[in-house]
Structure 1
Amino acid sequence: MPSAIPATMTAYRYVPSEPNPVAQRIPVPSPTAEQVLVKILAAGVCHSDIGILTPGDALNQAVPQSTFTLGHEGAGIIVQLGSSVASTYPSLKVGDYVALWCGEPCDLPSCATCSSGLQNLCVAAKMSAGIHGLGLEGTWAEYIAVHASSAVPVPASPERVPPGMACAATDAALSPYHALKTCCGVRAGHTVLCIGLGGLGLNAVGIAKRVLGAARVIGCDTRAPACEDARAAGADYAMGPEALLGFIEQEKLAVDVAIDFVGTQATFDACFAAIRPGGMVHLVGLGANEIAYRPLSMMTKDLTLKTSFWGTRAELAEVLQAIADGLLKPMVTSRPMSQCAEVLDEMRAGKVQARIALVPQERLARL
């Protein structure tokens, strides 16, 4: 291992029965033949991380009950190539600035999802065995080894696209982009409702309005500051749930696509109430393990109900390009990685507005 790469590193890890990440000193991984070693510049914190740490949550039940490093969003610099990377992925080199698509799909021609370009569904199917930070070693550390195909080049320098934005692109922007563009087909002329204006919802507002060209975007959240952020992100209107239906009726708006970024019964019902006949309700949030609906009520509106999981590597490249072009500007604040437990507590208390990027201590010392 090159002398510039240390032998060990601090990682913040899921330990069964522990309510928060545990800091452990572990070896820096050596990349296999098809992997690259990436020095982490920023790693995102997601509500899914809370689910992993919460006994009884669907995500907690999906991950292995063994110790692994958390974090499924990240951006950094390639510092080492596996022995076959130069020949199989000649465009990658040491020093490249990359965002991390944290899946490990099989990529086999015989795989129905991978052969259709839906690698996100391959990793969803095997969950804990296929996603860094949800079973595989994640980004809440100083280094990570990932398959070379998962290192997606950022089409700009770290000065132009800061590491916090690049890491947010890998889930907080990628998941709503996949939902809006690929699954819902949002386009010019559409009216889009985004319920839940956190990390994903705020990016959804910007994607719908400034990337996909929706005619009208409505943001909805119980928190007044989140509504203000949504207006800054491009929302034409933003309000609390108590005002939503009256406003839609007053303005005679026809909501074509309603996306629930919270995923509770109340927010799902609000989407159903707001959507026009023939419209589309899309569920992204994982706030509840179960959500109920009445089929006849859905049918009498002739609705389409959809869901989605994350997004693909190709879509991540599109999201990064939109950020580099200035069309999308994810809201991100940085915190020391050592404060990950405090950040999670703030998220549990509803005090976090957008995305938080964790920065390793070693990098903080040079800033």
Structure 2
Amino acid sequence: MFAARYVPGKKELSLVEVPKPTPGPLDVILKIRAAGICHSDLHVLHGEVPYKESFTMGHEACGEVVEKGSEVFGTFNPGDLYAVHGPNPCGHCNYCRTGHDNLCNDPSRTFIGLGQDGAYAEYLKVPARNIVKVPKGISPEVAAVATDAVLTPYHAIKTKGGVGLGSKVLAIGLGGLGMNGVQIALALGAEVTAVDLKDANLETAKSFGVQKVLNSKQISSLTPLSFDVVVDFVGLESTFKDAQNFVKPGGTILLIGLGSAQVPLTTATAITFETKVQASFWGTHVEMQELYELIAEGKIKPQVETAPMKEVNHWLHELEAGRVKSRMALIP
């Protein structure tokens, strides 16, 4: 079967033929219907996240179950879609048992498509416990990108940020995560202000119901110390400084973007105002189920472009150049 594989030291994925996987007792085999691409892929190809072994990339996956292991029970109907919980938790450790399976600490765990074979292929082997049924009416490409591009901001904003009815939220950056993030905040009842360098992104945010949008160059016109939650979807020194300027005393900064390896914290101000800086990683299995219901209800509408999977290297270059308008899903 076709697969796009990471090879240590190479700046592009190798497009090769590999054997179709066979399921272990607790696994299923998905026929991939769509696989999302992500900036995390670029961090791997740039050597910022070092892996010593080759593997098939692609951590945003959706497909149909075509085989199951001997100890997997239940019926999988043809045509039903299942999405993959990319953190690939073990299900047995204390974190998994207490509902924090995104933080699974099983020493043998690796992430789907990031350290072990992923979805840039025709078929994918995955533990049956780590798939989630996709409600009818959600397309494969939307279901695929939602496993990260919606799950990550959903976990951050709802679970870690505690955003709810009446919360004042500032979203910095309206890329793939940010555009979904503002919709999540609105669905939770928040009053949302969004800033971005691209006016087209601001217009899209307005169409989703964002109450106030502003070009990033004009962010200084906002009232300092006025937001309950500031979500930094960029993660650069400049955006994190802005987050500290506009979060209110006792408020929360959610750090999601990986724009730089480190960001500066003004300690005196953070201490004086008891600012909470909350990192956030991916999301849980239960949260995946919740967000698919929101998508099915039309409360979140992920923006997705599609392209043939064999063009994966081209679209990774386009993503790096900033020419992907929303999120991209690859179709085998």
| TM norm structure 2 | 0.96
Tell me whether 1:205 sits opposite 2:182 in the alignment. Answer: yes
For 1:256 and 1:232, the matched residues in 2 are separated by 23
The match for 1:97 among 81, 86, 89 is 81
Structure-2 residue corresponding to 1:170: 147
Which residue of 2 is the match for residue 245 of structure 1? 220
What do residues 26-62 of structure 1 show as CA deviations (whole Å, max 9, x unaligned)?
011011110111111110011101001112x2xx23x
Matched, 1:234 2:215: no
2:145 & 2:154 partners in 1: Cα distance?
Answer: 12
Residue 270 of structure 2 is aligned to residue 298 of structure 1: yes
Equivalent-residue separation in structure 2 for 1:277 and 1:243 (angstroms)? 22
Aligned residues of 1:256 and 1:280 also touching (Cα < 8 A): yes
* Pairing partner for 2:103 from 98, 105, 121: 121
In structure 1, how many angstroms separate the alpha carbons of the residues matched to 2:17 and 2:213? 45
Is contact 2:309-2:331 (8 Å) kept? yes
The percentage of counterpart residues that share the same residue type is: 40
Letter matched to residue 303 of structure 2: M
1:282 aligns with 2:239: no
The answer as to 2:56 corresponding to 1:74 is no
Matches of 1:237 and 1:20 in 2, distance apart?
A: 40
Cα shift at 1:93: 5.0
- Contact 1:245-1:274 at 8 Å conserved across structures: no
CA positional deviation for 1:285: 1.0
Q: 1:180 to 1:264 in 2, by over 3 A?
A: same
Q: What is the deviation of 1:105?
A: 1.8
Q: Is the 8 A contact 2:241 2:264 kept in 1?
A: no
Q: Is the 8 A contact 1:40 1:77 kept in 2?
A: yes
Counterpart residue type for residue 228 of structure 1: E
Amino acid at match of 1:283: L
RMSD across aligned positions (CA): 1.6
TM-score, normalised relative to structure 1: 0.87
SS at match of 1:140: coil
Q: CA deviation at 1:129?
A: 3.9
Q: Distance in 2 between matches of 1:116 and 1:185?
A: 19
Q: Say whether the 8 Å CA contact 2:87–2:282 is kept in structure 1.
A: no
The 2-side partners of 1:166 and 1:309 are apart by: 19
Q: How does 1:32-43 map to 2 (within 5 A)?
A: 32-43=24-35
**Where does structure 1 lack aligned partners over 5 or more consecutive residues?**
1-8, 361-367
SS state of the match for residue 115, structure 2? coil
- C-alpha deviation, 1:208, in angstroms: 0.5
SS state of the match for residue 259, structure 1? strand
Structure 1 Cα separation of the partners of residues 240 and 17 of structure 2: 42
**Over 2 Å off, 4+ runs:** 90-96
Structure 2 stretches lacking a partner, 5+ long: none
1:325 is matched with 297
Deviation at 1:92, TM superposition (A): 4.5
The DSSP-based 3-state class of the residue aligned with 1:227 is helix
1:94 deviates by: 5.4
Match runs of 1:1-367 below 5 Å = 9-55=1-47, 57=48, 60-61=49-50, 64-86=51-73, 90=74, 92=76, 95-108=79-92, 111-122=93-104, 129-156=109-136, 160-209=137-186, 211-214=187-190, 216-248=191-223, 254-360=226-332
Aligned partner of 1:3 in structure 2 is none
Q: Please list the CA deviations of residues 125-170 of structure 1 after superposition, one character each: whole Å capped at 9, or x if unmatched.
A: 75x94211110101111110111011100121xxx21111111110
Distance in 2, Cα, partners of 1:338 & 1:94: 25
State the number of aligned residues. 332
